[in-house]
């Protein structure tokens, strides 16, 4: 399963499902596994209903040296969850004198959203490089804390249908970094051309054994 569908969760009420339907608009976020790690990507448009609120919304964040995240949903809620994940990652790093793994960060986010239980309107892709296993990992997480096992590729948001079509047709194991960057650009282009909620600039980062590196977007600037 490459796109999260929280409506499959038997504990969801109809009110939660209705909220989810409203939140499935307004962005395209992507994560893919490559040979040397992962690539995270998104576009830069933020909407408020039918209004484009900003063309320069930051939706890609660095959590620690080896982990990043993309966001979709309520901007304020997502920013809060990201800041808490960053803070808890720093505290864990101080406590054990090493950078927390992507698995740890993903579970922090999942637990936060699960405890909030639809209080935080945040859909996130947490991705990074796990040094112990020597692989990149991706964890899509929905707004009630549902998280899948690590995926090969994933897309969330209103443009995800179009992005997934490109990813499913072109992703393959052992993609190089350049091939991965080109693939997410193609997927974002498809989403921006067909989805009214996605648009403008792109934000891309790669995360390998050497750490988080912005490829394009505000984090690079």
Give, in order, the Cα–Cα distances in Å from 59 to each of 75, 117, 131: 9, 22, 25
Mean pLDDT of all residues in the chain?
Answer: 88
What distance in Å separates the CA atoms of residue 203 and residue 65, rounded to the nearest whole number?
A: 18
45-96: pLDDT as tens digits? 988 777 888 888 899 999 999 999 999 998 889 999 999 999 999 999 999 9
Write the pLDDT tens digit of every residue in 137-162: 999 999 999 998 878 999 999 999 99
> Active-site residue among 25, 27, 101, 208?
27
* Both structure tokens of 2: 């490459």
Give strand pairing partners of 39. 32, 206
Three-class secondary structure of residue 48 per DSSP: strand
| Cα-only R_g, the chain | 16
What would the two tokens of residue 172 be?
A: 């393959």
Two structure tokens written together for 139: 């964890």
Written as one string, the DSSP assignment of 140-189 is EE-TT--BPSP-SEEEESTTHHHHHHHHHHH--TT--HHHHHHHHHHHHH
- Has residue 17 got a pLDDT over 60? no
pTM of the entire structure?
A: 0.87
Residue with tokens 């901007």: 75
The tokens describing 126, both together, are 């947490």
25 part of the active site? no
**For residue 90, how many other CB atoms are within 10 A of its CB?**
14
Residue from 137, 129, 150, 15 nearest 64 by CA: 129
For the chain, what percent of residues have pLDDT higher than 70? 88
Question: According to CATH, what is the number of the domain 21-216?
Answer: 3.60.20.10
How many whole angstroms separate alpha carbon 107 and alpha carbon 200?
31
Residues 127, 138: contact at Cβ < 8 Å? yes
The token duo for 145 is 């804390």
Domain locations along the chain: 21-216
């Amino acid at each position: 399963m490459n796109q999260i569908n929280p409506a499959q969760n038997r504990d969801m009420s109809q009110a939660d499902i209705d909220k989810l339907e409203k939140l499935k608009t307004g962005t395209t976020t992507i994560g893919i596994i490559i040979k040397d790690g992962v690539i995270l990507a998104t576009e830069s448009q933020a909407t408020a209903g039918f209004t484009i609120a900003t063309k320069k919304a930051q939706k890609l964040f660095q959590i620690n040296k080896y982990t990043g995240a993309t966001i979709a949903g309520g901007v304020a809620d997502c920013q809060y969850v990201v800041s808490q994940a960053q803070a808890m990652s720093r505290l864990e790093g101080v406590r054990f004198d090493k950078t927390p793994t992507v698995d740890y960060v993903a579970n922090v986010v999942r637990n936060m959203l699960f405890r909030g239980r639809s209080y935080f309107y945040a859909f996130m892709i947490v991705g990074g490089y796990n040094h112990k296993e020597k692989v990149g990992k991706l964890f899509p997480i929905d707004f009630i804390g549902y998280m899948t096992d690590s995926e090969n590729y994933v897309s969330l948001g209103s443009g995800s249908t179009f992005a997934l079509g490109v990813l499913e047709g072109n992703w393959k194991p052992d993609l190089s970094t350049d091939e991965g960057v080109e693939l997410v650009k193609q997927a974002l282009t498809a989403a921006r051309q067909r989805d009214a909620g996605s648009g403008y600039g792109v934000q891309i980062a790669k995360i390998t054994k050497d750490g988080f590196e912005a490829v394009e977007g505000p984090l690079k600037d």
